[in-house]
Amino acid sequence: MSTPSHSSEVHPFLRGNFAPVTQEYVSHPCQVVHGQVPQELFGGQYIRNGGNPVYPPEQGRHYHWFDGDGMLHGVFFDGQGRPSYTNRHLATPLLTMTLLLLRSPLPSIALLISPLSSLHRIVVAILQAFLIALRARMGVLSVANTSVIWWGRGLGLDELEEDQVEHVLGASEMLSNDPDQRLLATCESGPPLEVQLPSLQTIGWDRLKDPFTGESLAERRGRWEWWKRFGLSRVQEDWMTAHPRVDPLDGSLLLYSTQMFDAPHVRYSVIDRTGRHVIWKEGIDVGRAKMMHDFAATRTHTILLNLPLTLSPHNLFSRPPVPLIHFDRTLPSEFVIFPRLQPQHLIRFRDPEPSLIFHTANAWDEYDGNGCLQAVNMLGCRFRSAKLVYAAGAIDIPAVEKKFGAGDVVRLQYYRFDMTGSGKIIHTFPLSAIPFEFPTLPPLLGMSPARYVYGCTMRSGLFDEPLGGAAKVDCIAKLDVLELIERGRCRGVGKSMEPVDPRSSAEILKDWQDGVSGPIEIFAMPAGWYAQEPRFVPRYNGRKEDDGFLFTYVYDESHLLPDGTPSSDGDAGSELWVIDARRLSQGMSAVVARIKLPQRVPYGLHGTFVPGSAMRHQRKVEQSLPPQDLLQDKLARSRLQNFVSILFNRPMYRDKSKAEKVILALWLPIGVIMLALSIKEVTSYVVLKQL
Ligand SMILES: [Fe+2]
C-alpha cells in the first residue's frame, strides 16, 4: 500500500491501526510477555473477524468501515497453554475477483448512503457488481467480514433436550461419533462461511442444510413468481444475519434474513440442535425493507428491531429521491415480538421516536408468581440518530442527524415490553450516561437475567465521531445491569431519556480511585493504547457471574509514525490481553496475561472464544483442504498478473487516458445519432420509392 504524504487525506477508517495488514501468519509462536495464561484457555482459540481490504480504494473514493474483505485473527492455546497466532483472509469468490481486478467489484456502503451519490452512479455500481458476479459465476456477493459464531449439533446444556435429541436421532452415539460443530464467519449479505480451527482455513459456504429433509438456505420459500427467478431477489435468497442467536440451553440457532427486493422483507428461521429446520423462512411484515443488523431473543420469544434505517430501492425513486440506505425520521421505532416457534402470533410495540440499535446485549422473560409471562426485557445499544452510519463512511452527516448535539450518545437502553395484552412498552430508559457499544456477557447467561454486561466505552468522545475521525476504544466497562434496572424502574413507568447513572467515564474512574464503588466499573487502557470488542470466558468452578476473563486485542499507538502510518518494526505488533473481569477498576493489575503478536491486529468487529472442549466436536472435513496460499503470495501473484497484462497491452484495470475518456463519453450519443440518421435515410428511401 502506498504511503500518502498527508495522513489526514487518507480515509479515517483506513489509517492508523484501522489500516489493513498485508501479511498472513500461520501458527506463529507467541510470547507471553506478562502473567500466565489461565488454564481455562488451554486447548481453545480466540478468533475475531473484521474487514481488511486487500486493495483499499484509491484516495478520494468511497469507503466504509463495514466494507473490506473479511480477515480472521486468532490466537490458539495448545494443551500446555502455549499461544500461537494465525491470521487468514476468508477465501471468498469476491476476494479472488478483487485480486484479479486489483480493486473490489462491490460498491462501498458509503456510496449507498451518501446523499451526494447520484442515482445513475448507484444503479451503475450495483449493476456492475451483479454483472461481474454473473460473469464470474459467483453465487455469493459476501466478504463474510462481520462476526464469527460457533454452532452445530449437540450444543446446549439442557439434559431434557439431550434425551429428546437422542430420541429424534435414534442413535445415542450420534452426537459423539459424528461431530458437527463448526465456526461460521458471518455477514448479512451472504450465507455463513465455514472455517476450520485452528488453521482458520476457509472450507466453504454453509447453507445450514436440514439433515432430514435436505432443505437449505438456498431454497426459495413463499411466493415465487416466474420472473423473480431471474430477478435480483434470487441473489439474496441465502443471506443470513451476521448476528444469529444460539440458545445456550437447548442449542438451537435463531436467525433471520432480509430481502431488499421482495416482500415480506424479513424471513425468520429456527434450527434445533439436531439441525432440523423447525421454523423455516417464515415471512415477517416490516413494511419497507430495512437494514437490520441485529435482533434479540429470550428463551421463549424473539424480538425483531424494525427501526427506521431503510435499505430499499424504492428510496431512489421517491420524491425527493433519497439514498438507497436512508434513515427515515418519519418512521417509528418498532419492536416486533413473537413466540419463538409461532412467528404468526406477533405483537408490535412502538416508540414514536426514531432510533437505531446496531447491537442488543441481552433479552429475557419475566414471569409472575403463578408462572405466567408478564414481560419481555431487552437491553440494546441505542442511538438517537444515524450519525454512526455516516461517520463510519466519512460522509458529511446530514443536518437533521446532528440536531441532538452533545446529547446524542449511544447508551445501553433498557426496554420492558408488556406481554399481558396492553401492547405497551412499560419502561424504557438508558442505564448510564457513558457511550456503550459492542456488548458482551458470559455466553451461558444469554437469554436469562444476567447481572453483568461488558462492552466498549471511552474516556471522552463518541462512537459516532464527526467527519474525519474514527472512534477508538480506550475503556472497557462492566455494568451491573440488574441493579441499574431496579433503580430505573423505581422512577416510575414510561419512557425516560435520563440515564439511571449520570456519571461520565472520567467520574466513574475517579470514584473507584477514591474507593467509591458503584454499579459501573471501568477498565482504563494506558494512555495511547486502544482496545477492541471484549469477549468473556468463564473461570472453571466460578462462584459468581463475573468470575472469568475478558479477551481483547490491544494496540499501542505510539507505534504509529509521525504521519500516522503504522510502524512495521518487529515489536510494533498488537497484544492479546486477558483481563480478570472481577477487578476491572484495578487497571493494569487486573491484566492476568499479555500475549505479544507478530503484527498489529487492525481495529475490527466481532469475535468469539471456542474452548478446547468444544473444538473436540468440530465437524470433520470430508476431503482434506487444498493448501491455501498466504495473502502475501496472492498479492504478489495478482500484481505480477496485472504487470504482464499491461506489458502485453491488455490491461485488466487501469486509469483511462483523456482521449479514451472522450471517445467513451461520445460513443453513445454518436451511436444514437447514427442510428437516427440510418432510420431517417431508410424511411426517406421507402417514401421516395412509394412516390
Ligand atoms: Fe455487529
CB 153 within 8 A of CB 273: yes
Is 334 within 8 Å of 309 (Cβ atoms)?
Answer: no
Q: Which letter, b or e, does each residue of 403-428 get, where b requires 16 or more Cβ atoms within 10 Å of its Cβ?
A: eeeeebbbbbbbbbbbbeeeeebbbb
Q: What is the pLDDT of residue 651?
A: 46
Distance 561 CA to ligand 1 centre (A): 30
Distance from the CA of 68 to the center of ligand 1, in angstroms? Answer: 15
pLDDT of amino acid 169: 43
Grid coordinates representing 501?
Answer: 447513572
CA 608 to ligand 1 center in whole angstroms: 13
pLDDT exceeds 80 at position 682: no
In angstroms, what is the span from residue 472 Cα to ligand 1's centroid? 16
What share of the chain in percent tops pLDDT 90?
60
188 C-alpha to ligand 1 centroid (Å):
10
What does the pLDDT read at residue 81?
96
d(CA 459, CA 461): 7
pLDDT value, residue 321 = 80
Q: Is 90 exceeded by the pLDDT of residue 372? A: yes
Higher pLDDT, 165 or 546: 546
Tell me how far the alpha carbon of residue 607 lies from the centroid of ligand 1, in angstroms: 10
Residue-level pLDDT at 685: 47
Give the 3-state secondary structure of residue 536. Answer: strand
pLDDT at 604: 94
How far, in Å, from the CA of 421 to the mean position of ligand 1? 32
CA of 363 to the centre of ligand 1 (A): 17
Binding site residue list for Fe cation: 243, 293, 359, 606
Task: Quote the ligand 1 centre to 149 CA distance (angstroms).
Answer: 12
- pLDDT > 60? residue 624: yes
Q: Is the pLDDT of residue 225 over 70?
A: no
- Separation between Cα atoms, residue 568 and residue 438, nearest integer Å: 29
For residues 353-377, average pLDDT: 97
pLDDT computed for residue 661 by the predictor: 67
pLDDT recorded at residue 66: 87
**Overall average pLDDT of the 72-90 stretch:** 97
Instruction: For residue 34, report the distance from its CA to the centre of ligand 1, in Å.
Output: 31
> Across 134-148, 405-419, 512-526, which has the greatest mean pLDDT?
512-526
In the predicted structure, residue 202 carries a pLDDT above the cut 80: yes
Percent of the chain past pLDDT 70, that is, above it, reads: 85
Q: Separation of 440 CA from ligand 1 center, angstroms?
A: 11
Q: What is the pLDDT of residue 629?
A: 87
**What integer pLDDT is reported at residue 316 of this predicted model?**
81
User: How far does residue 457's CA lie from ligand 1's centre (Å)?
Assistant: 16
Q: How far is the CA of 147 from the centre of ligand 1 (A)?
A: 7
Expressed in angstroms and rounded, the spacing between residue 670 Cα and the centre of ligand 1 is 49
- Cα(340) to ligand 1 centroid in Å equals 22
Q: What is the spatial order of strands in the sheet that 475-480 belongs to?
A: 437-440, 452-457, 475-480, 520-524
Residues 138-182: tens digit of each pLDDT: 678 899 999 999 999 878 765 444 444 444 444 444 444 578 899
Please indicate whether residue 665 or residue 194 has the higher confidence score (pLDDT).
194
Q: How many A from CA of 304 to the centre of ligand 1?
A: 15
Q: Please check the confidence at residue 322 and state whether its pLDDT lies above 50.
A: yes
Model confidence pLDDT, tens digit, residues 261-311 = 888 899 999 999 999 999 999 999 999 999 999 999 999 999 999 999 999
- pLDDT number for residue 71: 97
- The CA 685 to ligand 1 mean position distance, Å, reads 66
Q: Compute the distance from residue 572 Cα to the ligand 1 centre, in Å.
A: 28
Report the separation in Å between the CA atom of 397 and the middle of ligand 1, taken as the mean of its atom positions.
Answer: 21
pTM of the model: 0.88
Bigger pLDDT: 348 vs 665: 348
How many Å lie between the centroid of ligand 1 and the Cα of residue 531? 16
Q: What is the pLDDT of residue 395?
A: 82
Question: Which pLDDT score is estimated for 228?
Answer: 59
Q: What confidence score (pLDDT) does residue 378 get?
A: 98
Burial class from Cβ neighbours inside 10 Å (0-12, 13-18, 19+) for residue 54 reads: buried
Average pLDDT over residues 417-421: 96
Comparing 234 with 486, which gets the higher pLDDT? 486
Residue 689 has pLDDT above 60, yes or no: no
Q: Is the pLDDT of residue 245 over 50?
A: yes
Please report, in range form, the residues annotated as the binding site. 243, 293, 359, 606
Whether the Cβ atoms of residue 548 and residue 539 lie closer than 8 Å to each other: yes
- Residue identified by cell 424473539 is 302
Cα 72 to ligand 1 centre (Å): 15
| C-alpha 291 – ligand 1 centre gap (Å) | 12
What's the CA-to-centroid distance between 243 and ligand 1, angstroms? Answer: 7
Rounded distance from Cα 6 to ligand 1 centre (Å): 31
- Asked whether residue 238 carries a pLDDT value surpassing 50, the answer given is yes
Q: Which residue has the higher pLDDT, 461 or 273?
A: 273
Q: Which residue has the higher pLDDT, 218 or 132?
A: 218
* Arithmetic mean of pLDDT, 232-248: 88
Q: Determine which of 53-57, 161-165, 565-569 has the lowest per-residue pLDDT on average.
A: 161-165
pLDDT at 668: 66
Question: What is the Å distance from ligand 1's center to 605 Cα?
Answer: 7
**Tens digits of residue pLDDT in 523-535:** 999 999 999 999 9
50-54, 241-245, 315-319: range with lowest mean pLDDT: 315-319
Query: Which of 553, 538, 565 minimizes the C-alpha distance to 71?
Result: 553
- Among 473, 471, 441, smallest CA distance to 454 is for 441
Q: What is the pLDDT of residue 652?
A: 47
CB atoms within 10 A of CB 623: 5
CA distance 449 to 455: 17
Task: Check whether 369 has a pLDDT greater than 50.
Answer: yes
Q: Rounded to whole angstroms, how far apart are CA atoms 370 and 634?
A: 63
Kindly indicate the confidence band of residue 601, based on its pLDDT and cuts at 50, 70 and 90.
very high
Q: How far is the CA of 66 from the centre of ligand 1 (A)?
A: 9
- 3-class SS letters over 506-519: HHHHHHHHCCCCCC
What band does 9 get if pLDDT is binned at 50, 70 and 90?
Answer: confident
- Phi/psi for 56 (5° steps) reads -60, 155
